[in-house]
C-alpha cells in the first residue's frame, strides 16, 4: 500500500494500489521492474526517486493482460525524479501519467502504449493540469488519448528539451 524507503533492484509483482504519502520518499533502484497484476494505481503525494541507468532502466508495466492505471502525481514534491524509466501499458482517464499541481523532473524516460479513456480530457502519454514538469531526452510514442494522444496540457507550461512526441493518436482535439 504505502511506499517509503529503498527498493532494491528486483521484479515486483504489484497486486494493489501503491501510494507515496505526503512527506514520505521512496527510492527505486536501477534494474527494478514494477509489474502490475491488475487495475492498480500508483499515487504520488510525496517524493519518488526512480533512478535507473542507461544500461539498467526501471520499468513500470503490466504483469498480465489486465491494464494497470498509471501514475497520478497530486501536489507531489518537486524533488520527484524519473530517470532512465519506461512507463507503458497503463489505461485510465488520464493516461500513463497524470500530473496535478506537480513539477517532477523526467530524464531519459520513455512513455509508450498507454491509453487515456476520459471523454472529458486526457492525453494518452501524459496529462498535465497546473503542472510544469521538466522533460529532457523523453520519448512519448504509441499512446492513445481523448484530447492529445501524446500529451494534454491544461494551465501548464512544461520545459521540453530533446523531447520526441510521435505516433500518438487522439479521438478529439
Q: Which own/partner contact pairs does 114-117 have at CB distance under 8 Å and 24+ positions apart? A: 114/70, 114/87, 114/88, 114/89, 114/90, 114/143, 114/144, 115/67, 115/90, 115/91, 115/143, 115/144, 115/145, 116/92, 116/143, 116/144, 116/145, 116/146, 116/148, 116/152, 117/91, 117/92, 117/93, 117/146
Residue 119 pLDDT greater than 70, yes or no: no
pLDDT in tens, 8-22: 999 999 999 999 999
Percent of the chain clearing pLDDT 90 (strictly above): 91
Write down the pLDDT at residue 146: 86
pLDDT in tens, 33-89: 999 999 999 999 999 999 999 999 999 999 999 999 999 999 999 999 999 999 999
122 pLDDT band, cuts 50/70/90, is confident
| Rounded distance between C-alpha atoms, residue 127 and residue 152, angstroms | 5
| Rounded distance between C-alpha atoms, residue 128 and residue 160, angstroms | 13
Write down the pLDDT at residue 173: 63
| Mean pLDDT within 87-106 | 96
Residue 1 pLDDT greater than 80, yes or no: no
| Mean pLDDT within 4-8 | 97
| Mean pLDDT within 77-103 | 97
| Phi and psi torsions of 105, nearest 5° | -110, 125
147 pLDDT band, cuts 50/70/90, is confident
**Any bridge partners for residue 33, and if so which?**
11, 59
148 pLDDT band, cuts 50/70/90, is confident
Distances (CA, A) of 45 to 23, 78, 99, 142, 169: 8, 10, 11, 28, 29
Write down the pLDDT at residue 171: 83
The answer to whether the predicted template modeling score (pTM) of the entire model surpasses 0.85 is yes
Amino acid at each position: 500500500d504505502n511506499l517509503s524507503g529503498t527498493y532494491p533492484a528486483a521484479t515486483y509483482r504489484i497486486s494493489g494500489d501503491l501510494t507515496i504519502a505526503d512527506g514520505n520518499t521512496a527510492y527505486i533502484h536501477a534494474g527494478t521492474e514494477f509489474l502490475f497484476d491488475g487495475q492498480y494505481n500508483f499515487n504520488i503525494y510525496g517524493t519518488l526517486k526512480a533512478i535507473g541507468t542507461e544500461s539498467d532502466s526501471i520499468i513500470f508495466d503490466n504483469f498480465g493482460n489486465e491494464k494497470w492505471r498509471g501514475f497520478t502525481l497530486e501536489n507531489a514534491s518537486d524533488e520527484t525524479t524519473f530517470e532512465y524509466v519506461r512507463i507503458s501499458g497503463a489505461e485510465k482517464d488520464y493516461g500513463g501519467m497524470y500530473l496535478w499541481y506537480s513539477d517532477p523532473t523526467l530524464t531519459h524516460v520513455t512513455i509508450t502504449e498507454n491509453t487515456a479513456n476520459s471523454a472529458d480530457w486526457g492525453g494518452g502519454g501524459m496529462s498535465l493540469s497546473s503542472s510544469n514538469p521538466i522533460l529532457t531526452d523523453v520519448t512519448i510514442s504509441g499512446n492513445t488519448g481523448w484530447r492529445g494522444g501524446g500529451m494534454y496540457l491544461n494551465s501548464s507550461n512544461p520545459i521540453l528539451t530533446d523531447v520526441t512526441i510521435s505516433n500518438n493518436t487522439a479521438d478529439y482535439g
